[in-house]
Chain A
């Protein structure tokens, strides 16, 4: 195994001084060529990590907001090939950890090895492929991902058994994506007691990997709350909704990120 600080994700999450904010957006949305603009604006605004969504026609783990952004991105003409073109040279201006998040079929059609090669070349640090199950990952792709220095990030949910969480922890060496509740993306507002019990239960397991909470985190409040139980949180649907109504991406992204970071670090 590689050392724990070998990758931008590991370096970011090794610093425990504050709660890390990760942003999800769908590539090709709102307009086809917004990818770089959004990434640069996120970097300037002080986001800590970014998940770039590869649009898919049938995103079964996603709620209405991200579904709609996927559909719009595809209508705009977004493809994986084009995404890699847009990301060409992105490391000249962006040093946040970058993660590609997408469903398995577009990746497989691109070719898994070609995908890893391109991802590594443009400076991607990790992959989230929700419908690539752990067993298939281990059987088919683990060696490949590792050889390109790409971290495979696994999800856990309130229903994931302790034994399986331990197994995922053993196989991971970046972070564990803690899905906040039994839901698709964007479903809930606020953080319930039941969720807190789940976070506490997982915390008590003393996993070796940091945890980042996603699904249903939408504002400074929920960001701050889950930050007590994890190293960071991911905001997706709320960010997409902001993009959708934005007239000036750069200014609106700055405002969005600050509203979350400033309001949550005050306490």
Chain B
């Protein structure tokens, strides 16, 4: 359950910072909207009626709790007790809907009737289009043109759901540019519109708000693991990081349990030093983008670098400020996985467990090859999404 108070060293402070990262670096045009959110979000989500509706929708509509599945094949292969948190079984196929359910209820409470969102892989776009259809709200989703091409099924899903998808042609035509365009739309429509950001990025309070909605993931893991293993705490929790929302949710209730190792997996693309990568912690330095101070891939002159990953959902030059803080403080361990290793892990998981993962998620699976595991170790991997949307990418890759 959400509480109005912050807990421990890794949650956001009064002024919207995680250590030296975070804040709300927004143009004045967005100040009234972001300030309204900041003032009200904690009290709204703490209301009993809000929580009741949120958890009810998660249960009946999303299909929560999602299973914590003991993956025997994977466990045998890697010599550890490996559990998969099955966010791929959520309605719409990924964890993203946990956040959009929360934010659509918040938008309603704020009296907004129009919704905008950015999307990379299209999972957040679909999850937003879905809750807008459910609640009868008008919805526009900005998506980089490049992403509309590599995630075509999701574009059509959004359209079927009644959402207007706007292909963005600026910059690298991926997630960063879609986010720019969504912010511009919000600047131009400040009164009736709520912007549902899809990850733990953006100005305060977005990173904290999205993390709270996603925290249901680790809330459930604790209960489920206790039943399976007699302990709430695994040795390791693993998640992929684009902006970092599925990781933030999977880590949330373990942040202040130092015995639980938090492993974040970024996209190395064609290799961390190839010039085609999205491994932000390896390549970035502190900078300001999309409203927060965080680690950012940039040139010496402070221009944002166009990232690259085969996975649209990880193709972002920054990470959420909470992850920048986990990295800088050493609380989180960050790894990078190449396109090739991720694709192979995706096929491996398909054949070992009968689960075709999203390519984002496949990065989290692939990191198993980089870890030293022992047979009594309990490892939870957040299986953030399913691979239906990525079929064309699997087909084009072809090595199966």
Contact = CB atoms under 8 A, between A and B. Distances in A.
Interface of A: 56-63, 67, 71, 74, 79-81, 103-110, 130-134, 136, 154-157, 159-161, 164, 179, 182-184, 187
B29 A61 contact: yes
A62 B171 CA distance: 14
A182 B25 CA distance: 18
B27 A58 contact: no
B28 A156 contact: yes
Contacts of A106: 301-303
Given A104-B288, A159-B32, A58 B304 contact: yes
Interface string B275-319: 000000000000111110000101011111000000000000000
Lowest 7 CB-CB distances: which A-B pairs, in order? Answer: A109-B302, A106-B302, A155-B28, A130-B27, A57-B303, A105-B302, A57-B304
B288 to A, nearest CB: 5
Contact of B188 (A132, A156, A187): A187
B26 interface: yes
B24 to A, nearest CB: 6
B180 interface: yes
A60 B184 CA distance: 6
B176 interface: yes
Contacts of A61: 27, 29, 184, 187
B27 A155 contact: yes
Contacts of B184: 60-63, 184
Interface string B165-176: 000001100001
B59 interface: no
Contacts of A59: 180
A187 B185 CA distance: 11
19 contacts: A57-B303, A58-B176, A58-B290, A60-B180, A61-B184, A67-B170, A71-B171, A80-B302, A105-B296, A106-B301, A131-B288, A133-B31, A136-B23, A159-B29, A160-B31, A179-B28, A182-B190, A183-B188, A184-B188
Contacts of B176: 58
A135 to B, nearest CB: 8
Interface in B167-221: 170-171, 176, 180, 183-184, 187-191
A262 to B, nearest CB: 32
B27 A109 contact: no
Given A58-B304, A159-B191, A105 B298 contact: yes
Contacts of A67: 170
A54 to B, nearest CB: 10
A133 B301 contact: no
Contacts of B33: 159
B171 A131 contact: no
A81 B299 CA distance: 13
A63 B187 CA distance: 11
A133 B31 CA distance: 8
Interface string B11-53: 0000000000001111111011100000000000000000000
Interface residues of B, number: 33
B288 A105 contact: yes
A159 B190 contact: yes
B29 A164 contact: no
A51 to B, nearest CB: 15
A132 B25 contact: yes
A157 B29 contact: yes
Given A61-B187, A105-B289, 7 more contacts: A57-B171, A67-B170, A81-B301, A105-B288, A133-B31, A161-B32, A182-B189
Nearest to A131: B25
Contacts of A79: 301
A60 B27 CA distance: 8
Given A67-B170, A133-B31, A187-B188, A109 B180 contact: no
A56 B287 CA distance: 13
Candidate in A74, A132, A133, A154 with the most chain B CB atoms within 10 angstroms: A133
A133 B183 contact: no
Contact of B25 (A80, A104, A157): A104
Contacts of A136: 23, 25
Contact of B29 (A81, A109, A132, A182): A182
Contacts of A60: 27, 180, 183-184, 187, 290
A74 B303 contact: yes
Contacts of A133: 24-26, 28, 31
Contacts of A57: 171, 303-304
A133 B288 CA distance: 12
B31 A131 contact: no
Contacts of A183: 187-188
B33 to A, nearest CB: 8
Given A74-B303, A131-B25, A160 B32 contact: yes
B285 to A, nearest CB: 8
Contacts of A80: 301-302
Contacts of A131: 25-27, 288, 291
A80 B171 CA distance: 20
A53 B31 CA distance: 22
Given A67-B170, A133-B24, A184-B188, A58 B29 contact: no
B386 to A, nearest CB: 31
A157 B28 contact: yes
A29 B25 CA distance: 27
A160 B190 CA distance: 11
Contact of A184 (B24, B187, B298): B187
Candidate in A103, A105, A155, A179 with the most chain B CB atoms within 10 angstroms: A105
A6 B189 CA distance: 39
A156 B29 CA distance: 7
Interface in B75-90: none
Interface string B206-248: 0000000000000000000000000000000000000000000
Contacts of A157: 28-29, 190
Contacts of B26: 131, 133
